[in-house]
Every structure is written in structure tokens, then in C-alpha cells.
């Protein structure tokens, strides 16, 4: 076969798989979102209702707005905290040395851990009777000894954030270490010779050059934060009440627990919209690298 | 005066040096503590786990219990292994063909296809799973490994294609061209030159995809109920009436995470590359 045809034949199976497993369900979900569909009845979906699922979410469902708010603040805090912690750790490790190789190896480990298991382990550590963190905080600040972390709406939210930040710091740190390593040493050394303080070197030389990598990291982390499900499901299951109910969890709950597929497809599609912008931004970075 | 200043400068350096070390050690400690805590609980007895003991007599009893009735973790272990393995078995050859073509040829709509593949990675899993749930219910393949393998391809393929493309991009094109001039066909070139050279990369991509499929949670939660339940979903078994059975949860946790740690350490250098799909190097 000629290359002219072969090159398309080679791509075809992959494109078909991607179409069948991602593109088709994406648009099928969009179609379902215009229907009223109760899974419990046969001949699903039943009635075309236009935009009613969407208006229902916007106008009649405080729980929807609650999960929008939870997801937005969750994304904000996890992105900011994870990026800052990872940047700090990456700067600590940047000079290299014996420790760095070891630490880099250790950093791989939490990242290979299933997010569901991260949720379980944090629930374990914040158990009010025999949790490790609980005992630690109780020891440092005795008034905190009797707090049951996961039954308080605000504290449960922050425990979820801690678990998320813990799980993502290693990956972001590894990416940022790579970014720092690719900054030419001489620009930093030149600034140091000129007598710039450590802080000035960081602010005026290192960070501007790290900006593209930081942007990639922030976009990627935002995408994964917006999708959060596994950890929250295992850690608080959205509770107490709906205090930690992210959008993914809300969709899961409505679709599978109340078998309201049409409605949950509509909410799921509302989640796709911010993803489109983030993906566009991400793709720009990927292809800028390719052309360079 | 200058001497005193130099001395204080050296002190300052020493101070920052030790602070640096302390901070790194603190970070390591924070990173490892949840893992160590789980690992310790897995070897504690039912009584010890409810106390904050650092010293205890380790026992393997928990691992025995989780594999026995009524938990049968062995069955979930088998499901997880088969699902992840077969997913990789399908994904890697398909991805390799596509990656070779993207790497070596100019295709019409190439950028569009690559962006589409990249974008599928960012679609929330809940969006994908709803139509599959309806379809699988109608086809009667809910709660089967086959169904789970099909949807797992959705999350694994984009990583596989981008990662393998990165590896093939790194292979010099000269040998291939020489072989083509000598009269080899393109298929022969791929089989005899590209595949052997890309083999380590294919193994790396395979391991990476295996880890992702193994840790996958949402699809398995929604699409399985009894027969095809995988390990991460199996964790929910240990919620009992009287509260969570932490020592058993921890033992199951060890079984889920230790194999992945080993695999992740094998491919550690490429982990970041895989996750960012070429956006950073």
C-alpha cells in the first residue's frame, strides 16, 4: 500500500475508538439532556422536553447552585494551594544534591495512589476517636481535641481540600522541577553577580521564565479539580448534607441514585462548558511547543 | 569589620542551609505519613487499630480475612488485573499505529485530530458514563468486564497516543529512510526498525495506562455491581454497620497501592511526560 493511503489507515482504528468511547457519548449526553428520562421505565428516553432540564437546574434547584459553588471554591483553593506548595517544594529541591534524587523518587509514590484510596486514608486520619490528625491537633491545641472534623460542613470541606492538595503536590512538583531545570543557569547567575537578593532573583528572573510551565500546571490542575469525584465520594460522600457535593457527585447522585438521566445529562453538559475553554488554552500551549 | 561581616554571612548561609534541609525533610514526612499510617494499620489487629499505638505486634491476619468470605478480595483483584491488562492490550497497538502516522506523515486535519484526542482526556467522566450506562443496560453488559474494558479505553487512549508519539518523535528517521531506499515496504520498516526501537517506550506507555485503568473509579462504580467489581470499588465492602473496619480497609489499600508503586517506580522518568501529554518537557 502507498504511504498516501497507509497513513490514514494507520490512524483509523484510533480515531474510531476515540469516537466511540468519547465523542459519541459526549453528544449522546447532549441529546439525552433534552429529554425527560427516568431509567426505571422502559423505552428510554421518553419525552422530548427541550431546555426544561436546564431551566430546572437554573431556576428550581438550589442543590445545583450549591454544587456549582462547592466546585468553584474547591477548584480555586486546590489550584492555588497545590500550585504554591508545589512551587515551594520545587524551589527547595531545585539546587539538586543527594537528597533530590531520593525525594523525586518518593514523589512518584503518592501520585500512583488511587484517588479513592487517598479519600479513605484521609477519612481514617480524621476519625474523631482514633485518627492520627485528630490526635495531633488535639495535642497541639487541646480545645480542638473533641472536634469531629467530618461532621462539620466547613471543616469537612477543608479536609477534602487537604486530601486533594496532598495527592496533587507530587505531580505538580515534578513538573515544576523540570521547568526550573530548563531555565538557563547563566541568567540567574548574572543576576546574583549583580548583587540581587534571593527574593529579587526569584521574582524578576526565575518566575517570569517559569511562567509557561506554571500556566500549563494551573490549567491542568483546574481541569482535574473541576472533575473531582473519587476522593470526595470516599471521604465525605458529599456530606455532611451537601457541604462537599461537587458537580460530578451531584450528577452521579441525580443520574444513578434518582435515575433521572435526562436531568443529570444536562448538568453534566454544563460542566463541559468550562472544560472547552480550559482545553483550548491547554491545546495552545501544546501546539506552541510543537512549532517551536 | 569586614571579618565580622563575613562571619555573619557564613552563619547566615549555614542557617539557610539547615532550614532548607529541615523543610525538605518536613515535606517528605508530610508526603509519606498517610501512606505509612495505612501501611501500619494493615498489620495491626482489630484492637490495636483503634488505638494510636506506634508499637504493636504485626499480624498478617487482615490479609487472610479480606481474601476469605464474605469479602473475596481475590475476585476483585482478578477483575482489576484482567480489566487493566486487556485495556492496555487493545490500547497500545492501536495507539502505536496512530502515533507512528502522526509522527512521520503530514495528514489532512492532523492538528484537529490531535486536539480532539487531547480534548477527550478532559471530558468529565460523568458525561461519558451516562450514555454507556443506558447502552450497556439495553445490551445486557452492565456489570461485565467487557463493558468496563470498553469504557476504560476512553480514558487510556489519549495518554497512549500522545506518549507513544513522543517516543517515536525521538527516534531518528535516517535508518527508516535508508531501508525504504533499499526497497523495504513501509510495513516492513515499521515492524523491523521502528517497533524494536520504540519497544521500551511502548512498555512505558503500557505501564502508565495500566496504572490509570487500575485506579479508575467512577466507571467501575456506576457500571459494575457484583460480578465485575474492581479493587477500588471493593473498598466500600469494609463499611460495616458498626463503622468502618479500618484494619481490613488498610489491608485492601495495601493490595491496591503496592503493585502500582512498583510499576510507577519502574517508569518514574516518564511519568510527568505522560500526564502532561507533551505540554512540558
Q: A116 in helix, strand or coil?
A: helix
CA A49 to chain centre: 33
Q: Looking at the predicted structure, is the pLDDT value of residue B203 above 70?
A: yes
Q: What separation in angstroms does the CA of A23 have from each of A15, A174, A182, B150?
A: 10, 31, 36, 14
> For residue B98, what is the nearest residue in chain A, using CA coordinates?
A11
Residues A30, B18: Cα–Cα separation, whole Å: 57
Residues B255, B239: Cα–Cα separation, whole Å: 17
Task: Specify the higher pLDDT residue, A178 or A136.
Answer: A178
Supply the pLDDT for residue B240. 66
The mean pLDDT value for A103-115 works out to 85
Cβ density class B73-97: b for 16+ within 10 Å, e for less: beebbebbeebbebbbebbbebbbb
In DSSP terms, which residues pair with B161 in a beta bridge?
none
pLDDT tens, position by position, B155-189: 999 999 999 998 999 888 998 999 999 988 999 99
Where helices occur in chain A by DSSP H, the ranges are 3-18, 24-32, 52-55, 62-93, 98-111, 115-125, 132-140, 153-181, 185-193, 198-200, 207-226, 230-235, 247-252, 261-291
Instruction: Give the best-scoring range by mean pLDDT among A86-95, B46-55, B90-99.
Output: B90-99
Is A55 inside a domain boundary? no
Supply the pLDDT for residue B279. 62
Cβ density class A210-249: b for 16+ within 10 Å, e for less: beebbbbbbbbbbbbbbbbbbbbbbbbebebebbbbbbbb
Supply the pLDDT for residue A141. 77
Residues B89, B202: Cα–Cα separation, whole Å: 11
Q: Looking at the predicted structure, is the pLDDT value of residue B197 above 50?
A: yes
Supply the pLDDT for residue B277. 65
Q: Looking at the predicted structure, is the pLDDT value of residue B212 above 70?
A: yes
Q: Looking at the predicted structure, is the pLDDT value of residue B7 above 50?
A: yes
* Residue in A235, A39, A157 with CA at minimum distance from that of residue B222: A39
What sign results for the dihedral spanned by CA atoms A135, A139, A145, A149?
negative
Least confident piece of the model among A201-210, A244-253, B221-230: A201-210
Q: B266 in helix, strand or coil?
A: helix
The predicted complex's ipTM stands at 0.89
Chains A, B: CB pairs < 8 Å: 278
Task: Specify the higher pLDDT residue, B278 or A285.
Answer: A285
Give the distance from residue A209's alpha carbon to the nearest chain B alpha carbon, in angstroms: 13
Residues A211, A202: Cα–Cα separation, whole Å: 12
The mean pLDDT value for B213-227 works out to 93
Residues B243, B234: Cα–Cα separation, whole Å: 16
Residues A213, A21: Cα–Cα separation, whole Å: 30
Supply the pLDDT for residue A40. 65
Where helices occur in chain B by DSSP H, the ranges are 2-42, 61-67, 73-104, 110-120, 125-139, 145-169, 174-181, 186-189, 195-215, 218-223, 231-234, 246-266, 268-276
> In total, how many domains does chain A have?
1
CB contacts under 8 A, A 163-192 vs B, are: 166, 169-171, 174-175, 178-179, 182
Residues B80, B139: Cα–Cα separation, whole Å: 22
On the 0-12 / 13-18 / 19+ scale of CB atoms within 10 A, B232 is buried
pLDDT tens, position by position, A22-63: 999 999 999 999 988 777 666 666 688 889 889 988 998 899
A106 in contact with B, Cβ within 8 Å:
yes
The mean pLDDT value for B47-74 works out to 83
Supply the pLDDT for residue A60. 87
Average model confidence (pLDDT) across chain A: 87
Q: Looking at the predicted structure, is the pLDDT value of residue B242 above 70?
A: no
A281 in contact with B, Cβ within 8 Å:
no
Is A15 inside a domain boundary? no
CATH of the domain at A158: 1.10.3720.10
Average model confidence (pLDDT) across chain B: 87
Angle at which helix A207-226 crosses helix A153-181, to 10 degrees, equals: 140
Is A174 inside a domain boundary? yes
A182–B281: do the CB atoms touch at under 8 Å?
Answer: yes
Residues A103, B144: Cα–Cα separation, whole Å: 40
pLDDT tens, position by position, A165-196: 999 999 899 889 888 888 888 888 888 888 87
Supply the pLDDT for residue B223. 93
The mean pLDDT value for B88-95 works out to 96
Q: Looking at the predicted structure, is the pLDDT value of residue B4 above 70?
A: no
Give residue A127's pLDDT band: very low, low, confident or very high (50, 70, 90). Answer: confident
Task: Specify the higher pLDDT residue, B152 or B138.
Answer: B152
Q: What separation in angstroms does the CA of B256 have from each of A117, A234, B233, B275?
A: 8, 15, 11, 21
What's phi and psi for B244, nearest 5 deg?
A: -75, 140
Is A52 inside a domain boundary? no
Supply the pLDDT for residue B1. 47
Residues B147, A268: Cα–Cα separation, whole Å: 21
> For residue A122, what is the nearest residue in chain B, using CA coordinates?
B34
Is A17 inside a domain boundary? no
The mean pLDDT value for B81-103 works out to 96
Residues B51, B35: Cα–Cα separation, whole Å: 18
Supply the pLDDT for residue B281. 53
Who's near A273: CB < 8 A, 6+ residues apart? none
Task: Please report, for chain B, the start and end positions of each structural domain, with discontinuous segments joined by +.
Answer: 2-61, 65-276
B122–A278: do the CB atoms touch at under 8 Å?
Answer: yes
Q: Which of chain A's residues have a Cβ under 8 Å away from the Cβ of B123?
A: 22, 26, 272, 275
DSSP string across B171-203: S-SHHHHHHHHTT--HHHHIIIIIHHHHHHHHH
Supply the pLDDT for residue A233. 92
Q: Report percent pLDDT > 90 for chain B.
A: 44
The answer to whether residues B216 and B233 touch, using CB atoms and an 8 Å cutoff, is no
The answer to whether residues B124 and B240 touch, using CB atoms and an 8 Å cutoff, is no
Is A54 inside a domain boundary? no
Q: A38 in helix, strand or coil?
A: strand
How many Cα atoms occupy the beta-carbon half-sphere of B5 within 13 Å? 2
> For residue A44, what is the nearest residue in chain B, using CA coordinates?
B134
Q: A35 in helix, strand or coil?
A: strand
Q: Looking at the predicted structure, is the pLDDT value of residue A248 above 50?
A: yes
Give the distance from residue B93's alpha carbon to the nearest chain A alpha carbon, in angstroms: 9
Pairing mode, strands B243-244 and A35-36: unpaired
Q: Which of A105, A125, A278 sits opposite B268 (nearest CB)?
A: A105
Pairing mode, strands B239-240 and B243-244: antiparallel
CATH architecture of B65-276: Orthogonal Bundle (1.10)
Is A40 inside a domain boundary? no
> For residue B118, what is the nearest residue in chain A, using CA coordinates?
A283
Domain containing A170: what range?
A: 60-291
Amino acid at each position: 500500500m502507498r504511504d498516501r493511503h497507509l497513513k490514514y489507515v494507520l490512524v483509523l482504528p484510533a480515531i474510531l475508538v476515540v469516537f466511540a468511547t468519547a465523542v459519541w457519548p459526549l453528544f449522546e449526553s447532549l441529546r439525552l439532556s433534552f429529554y425527560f428520562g427516568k431509567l426505571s421505565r422502559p423505552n428510554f428516553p421518553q419525552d422530548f422536553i427541550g431546555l426544561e432540564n436546564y431551566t430546572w437546574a437554573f431556576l428550581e434547584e438550589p442543590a445545583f447552585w450549591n454544587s456549582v459553588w462547592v466546585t468553584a471554591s474547591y477548584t480555586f483553593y486546590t489550584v492555588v494551594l497545590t500550585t504554591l506548595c508545589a512551587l515551594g517544594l520545587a524551589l527547595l529541591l531545585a539546587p539538586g544534591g543527594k537528597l533530590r534524587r531520593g525525594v523525586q523518587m518518593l514523589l512518584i509514590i503518592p501520585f500512583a495512589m488511587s484517588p479513592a484510596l487517598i479519600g479513605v486514608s484521609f477519612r481514617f486520619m480524621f476519625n474523631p476517636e482514633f485518627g492520627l490528625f485528630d490526635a495531633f491537633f488535639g495535642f497541639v491545641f487541646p480545645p480542638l481535641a473533641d472536634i469531629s472534623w467530618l461532621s462539620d460542613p466547613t471543616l469537612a470541606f477543608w479536609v477534602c481540600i487537604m486530601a486533594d492538595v496532598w495527592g496533587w503536590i507530587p505531580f505538580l512538583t515534578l513538573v515544576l522541577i523540570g521547568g526550573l531545570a530548563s531555565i538557563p543557569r547563566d541568567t540567574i547567575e548574572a543576576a546574583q553577580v549583580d548583587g540581587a537578593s534571593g527574593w529579587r532573583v526569584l521574582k524578576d528572573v526565575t518566575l517570569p521564565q517559569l511562567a509557561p510551565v506554571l500556566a500549563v500546571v494551573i490549567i491542568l490542575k483546574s481541569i482535574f479539580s473541576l472533575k473531582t469525584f473519587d476522593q470526595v465520594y470516599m471521604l465525605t460522600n458529599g456530606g455532611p448534607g451537601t457541604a462537599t457535593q461537587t458537580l460530578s457527585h451531584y450528577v452521579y447522585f441525580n443520574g444513578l441514585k434518582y435515575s433521572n438521566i435526562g436531568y443529570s445529562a444536562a448538568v453534566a453538559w454544563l460542566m463541559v462548558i468550562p472544560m472547552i475553554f480550559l482545553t483550548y488554552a491547554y491545546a495552545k500551549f501544546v501546539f506552541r511547543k510543537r512549532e517551536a | 569589620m569586614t571579618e565580622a561581616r563575613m562571619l555573619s554571612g557564613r552563619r547566615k548561609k549555614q542557617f539557610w542551609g539547615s532550614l532548607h534541609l529541615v523543610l525538605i525533610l518536613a515535606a517528605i514526612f508530610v508526603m509519606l505519613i498517610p501512606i505509612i499510617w495505612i501501611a501500619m494499620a494493615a498489620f495491626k489487629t482489630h484492637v490495636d487499630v483503634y488505638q494510636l499505638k506506634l508499637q504493636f505486634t504485626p499480624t498478617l491476619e487482615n490479609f487472610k480475612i479480606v481474601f476469605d468470605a464474605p469479602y473475596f478480595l481475590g475476585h476483585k483483584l482478578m477483575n482489576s488485573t484482567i480489566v487493566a491488562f486487556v485495556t492496555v492490550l487493545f490500547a497500545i497497538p492501536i495507539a502505536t499505529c496512530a502515533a507512528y502516522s502522526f509522527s512521520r506523515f503530514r495528514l489532512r486535519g492532523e492538528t484537529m485530530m490531535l486536539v480532539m484526542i487531547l480534548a477527550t482526556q478532559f471530558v468529565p467522566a460523568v458525561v461519558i458514563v451516562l450514555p454507556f450506562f443506558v447502552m450497556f443496560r439495553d445490551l445486557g453488559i452492565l456489570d461485565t468486564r467487557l463493558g468496563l474494558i470498553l469504557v476504560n479505553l476512553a480514558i487510556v487512549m489519549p495518554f497512549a497516543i500522545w506518549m507513544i508519539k513522543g517516543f517515536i518523535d525521538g527516534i531518528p528517521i535516517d535508518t527508516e529512510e535508508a531501508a525504504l531506499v533499499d526497497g523495504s515496504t513501509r510495513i516492513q520498516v515499521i515492524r523491523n526498525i521502528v517497533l524494536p526501537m520504540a519497544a521500551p517506550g511502548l512498555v512505558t506507555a503500557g505501564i502508565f495506562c495500566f496504572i490509570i485503568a487500575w485506579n479508575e473509579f467512577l466507571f467501575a462504580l456506576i457500571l459494575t455491581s457484583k460480578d465485575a467489581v474492581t479493587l477500588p470499588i471493593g473498598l466500600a465492602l469494609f463499611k460495616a454497620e458498626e463503622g468502618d473496619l479500618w484494619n481490613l480497609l488498610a489491608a485492601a489499600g495495601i493490595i491496591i497501592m503496592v503493585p502500582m508503586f512498583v510499576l510507577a517506580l519502574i517508569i518514574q522518568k516518564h511519568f510527568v511526560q505522560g500526564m502532561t501529554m507533551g505540554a512540558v518537557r
